[in-house]
Amino acid sequence: MAHKSDFQFSIREYKPSDKHGVMSLFCHGILEHVYPAFFKAITNPDHVGIALSISMAGYVLGGSSYFQALLFGSLWAGLIYYCCHDIYDSYMMGRLSTDMADIAANYLEIPSNGFWVAEANVNGQAKVVGMVAVIGKRQEEEEERFDDLNRGGNSTEFAQDASDGSYAQMSHIVVGFAWRRRNLGSQLTRKALDFCKEQGFSRLVIDLSSPQTAAISMCQKLGFVQMALHSNTHANPWFSKVARINVMQMEKLI
């Protein structure tokens, strides 16, 4: 599979020998969202107003001290950055200790799951430059989860998933920075869609955080539509509010 004269890649199933490259790509791919999230949050009109108010308070409390004003404003900016970093870092660490801890066992050994890498030839050596994963959600599994939620009295959020049949969740779609804008992300997503068709899934779902504008745009071009928007980042709820990060659930019918 080739794209452009100076860039050739192939998409294949993950192999244990890919582990180092995949882990490095995954960690960089997650943490790179921290700065866009921070700049988006710090320029939010509400946060700008808070920053000005805090800086003014520092100026007054410091006896007309510009240094104190700058210090107070910097502390507010530091808090926003910390919240943004914690959200993505906690997500990354959580996945590294669960499904990413043993990719072969959690993906390759389960027929309804899949994990693929994009491999490119770089200076005569094969290098992992992209990745994508799919976890299948069979109907019987969703019915069990739906029953558990019913017993817990909180069934509204997942009622549709339980009744619509089998579907799949796409995650870990990452393309190395130097290999972007070459249609590789779309190719990886199509690979996931083809797998879902083979498995008989009715739809493919993906969760994206609001700073992931490029990924959101790519999914929209491929026919994904927004189904839900929430602020549950699995981090401290107050961190999500300070960081102004939302999670967009998108899906494509197959």
Across all residues in the chain, what is the average pLDDT? 87
Which structure tokens are listed for 243?
């960081």
Q: Which residues pair with 249 in a beta bridge?
A: 207, 228
Q: What's the first-to-final CA gap in the chain, in angstroms? A: 24
Nearest to 119 by CA among 30, 172, 170, 179: 179
152, pLDDT greater than 50: no
> For the residues 200-217, what does the mean pLDDT come to?
95
> For the residues 147-169, what does the mean pLDDT come to?
52
Separation of alpha carbons 16 and 104, rounded Å: 7
Q: What tens digit of pLDDT does each residue of 174-192 get?
A: 999 988 988 999 999 999 9
Which structure tokens are listed for 159?
């009622």
> For the residues 135-153, what does the mean pLDDT come to?
57
Separation of alpha carbons 176 and 65, rounded Å: 46
Q: How many residues are recorded in the chain? A: 254
Instruction: Output the CA–CA distances (angstroms, integers) from residue 81 to 39, 87, 90, in the order listed.
Output: 9, 10, 14
What is the greatest pairwise CA distance in the chain? Answer: 70
Nearest to 247 by CA among 23, 24, 37: 37
Quote the pLDDT of residue 24.
96
| pTM of structure | 0.83
| % residues pLDDT > 70 (the chain) | 87
Separation of alpha carbons 41 and 77, rounded Å: 9
Residue 156 φ then ψ, to 5°: -60, -45
**Interstrand relation of 167-175 and 203-209 (parallel, antiparallel or unpaired):** parallel
235, pLDDT greater than 50: yes
Quote the pLDDT of residue 57.
86
Which structure tokens are listed for 108?
């390759």
Query: What value does the CA radius of gyration of the chain take, rounded to a whole number of Å?
Result: 21
Amino acid at 215: A
> For the residues 119-131, what does the mean pLDDT come to?
90
